[in-house]
Amino acid sequence: MFKTDVLIIGAGAAGLFCAGIAKQKGLNVIVIDHASKLAEKVRISGGGRSNFTNIDIDPQQPSKHFISENPRFCTSALSRYSAQDFVQWMRAKHVPFHEKHKGQLFCDRSSEDLIQALLLECDAGASGAHVQIMPSCKLEHLNHHDQATPYYEALTDQGRIQSQAVVVATGGLSIPQIGASDLGYRLAKQFGIRVTPTRPALVPLVFEPQAWSSFASLSGVSLPVLIEIGQGKKKTSFEEDLLFTHRGLSGPAALQISSYWHEEQALNINLLPHLDLGAFLLALKQQSKKLLLNELSTQLPNRLAQTWSHLNPEWLKSMPDLSNKSIQHITQSLQNWELRPQTTEGYKKAEVTAGGVDTRDLSQQTMQSKQAGLYFIGEVVDITGWLGGYNFQWAWSSAFACANGLASQLNKL
């Protein structure tokens, strides 16, 4: 039997970072993971270079970058351990990185540099404490013994583990091919912790095949757009690149909006967000004798313009032959294109899982649940960030809050 201060279930970003910080605080830690490879999601993220944070996060108003039934829950952790704090940590570990786009930071060489830094954190320091990592270790059951000195007992296929506290860092349901499972949600429910409904997020959108047949041939075409969902104060919009696929839409614009999309909702897409298209076309009507198709091919990807011309014969008219009403209709169709997805590509293609362990049952200061000694961090919690490093920052921040909470609690015992 193994004995330790803290058992962490899940050796991903949040689990490993929490283990390292807890060790620096003088706690002995065992980390188990059913997978043979550690931190596989870190390894494959960002095209193999891991978009590990975003320096544009506003720690005072992080809810604008995160979705949840209570997005303000993440404010405490994100303000106490910010993106700038993690950047300093990366520099201290001598991991080279660069900013790519909109505050997104990536490793210069490989995400393997980040993984090795996380493992180094688990080995570093002279606290006298240690971290033991057990890959290929399957949790079979977790029991809580409510005695004079309460403790948890984990039954695994590598033996029993006894600990004073347990941290669930098992991630979500996304990318099951690398081992994602519902273990974290099952553990929450076992101990009476509420779980909000889960769904794929940051995921490509799919349309009914017949409705999409006219656009399927555009697979691979990409362009910057403004994409919106909802009305009034509930409207959400992103200005990002949109990618056409055989089945629907992908690229940053579609992935971002997918986190907010629910079945039956319509999307509105402005394919030319930086152009006053109506005024542009009215001016061309006076100045050009070219076909509308030829003029709009200078503003849109050629394949997209050609496809649109097949759907609307007006595109094959010369500019002087277009009526003002036609110009108004064309402008509306391109700058307020309404689409209704049928579904998403599901967890297999989703980058993260929305929903999860209900924040109402967690402490925003320590990530401890209402079940004493049981903590939840990272993606398993109902906190989901935007595309671009926000979810990794939530992993670091929630892990840091948890490690400090563990030290404060266990060092008193």
Q: Are 163 and 143 in contact (CB under 8 A)?
A: no
Dihedral sign, Cα of residue 392, residue 117, residue 375, residue 397: negative
Cα angle: 162, vertex 164, 165; to 5 degrees: 105
pLDDT in tens, the chain (413 residues): 999 999 999 999 999 999 999 999 999 999 999 999 999 999 999 999 999 999 999 877 888 999 999 999 999 999 999 999 999 999 999 999 999 989 999 999 999 999 999 999 999 765 689 999 999 999 999 999 998 899 999 999 999 999 999 999 999 999 999 999 999 999 999 999 999 999 999 999 999 999 999 999 999 999 999 999 999 988 999 999 999 999 999 999 999 999 999 998 999 999 999 999 999 999 999 999 999 999 999 999 999 999 999 999 999 999 999 999 999 999 999 999 999 999 999 999 999 999 999 999 999 999 999 999 999 999 999 999 999 999 999 999 999 999 999 999 997 55
Are the beta carbons of 50 and 114 closer than 8 angstroms? yes
Query: What is the CATH superfamily name and number for domain 2-199+354-410?
Result: FAD/NAD(P)-binding domain (3.50.50.60)
User: What are 160's strand-pairing partners?
Assistant: 155
Beta bridge partners of 381: 357
Query: Is residue 297 a contact partner of residue 305, using CB atoms and an 8 Å limit?
Result: yes
CA dist 365 → 16, 69, 104, 126, 210 (Å) = 19, 18, 26, 27, 50
Contact residues for 284 (Cβ-Cβ < 8 A; gap 6+): 290, 295, 319
Work out whether strand 151-156 and strand 352-357 pair parallel, antiparallel, or are unpaired: unpaired
Q: Decide if 339 contacts 228 (C-beta within 8 A).
A: no
Domain boundaries, the chain: 2-199+354-410, 205-344
pTM: 0.96
HSE-CB at 41 with a 13 A cutoff on CA atoms is 33
Q: Which of 267, 330, 326, 254 is nearest to 299 (CA)?
A: 330
**Among 290, 379, 326, CA closest to 66:** 379
What pLDDT, on a 0 to 100 scale, did the predictor assign at position 252?
98
Residue 126 is predicted with a pLDDT of 58
Q: Residue 101 has what pLDDT? A: 87
List alpha helices for 174-250, DSSP H. Answer: 183-190, 209-212
Q: Which residues contact 70 (CB under 8 A, 6 or more apart)?
A: 359, 360, 382
pLDDT of residue 234: 87
Helix (H) or strand (E) holding 215: none
Which pLDDT does position 374 carry in this prediction?
Answer: 98
CATH top-level class of 205-344: mainly beta
**What is the reported pLDDT for 147?**
86
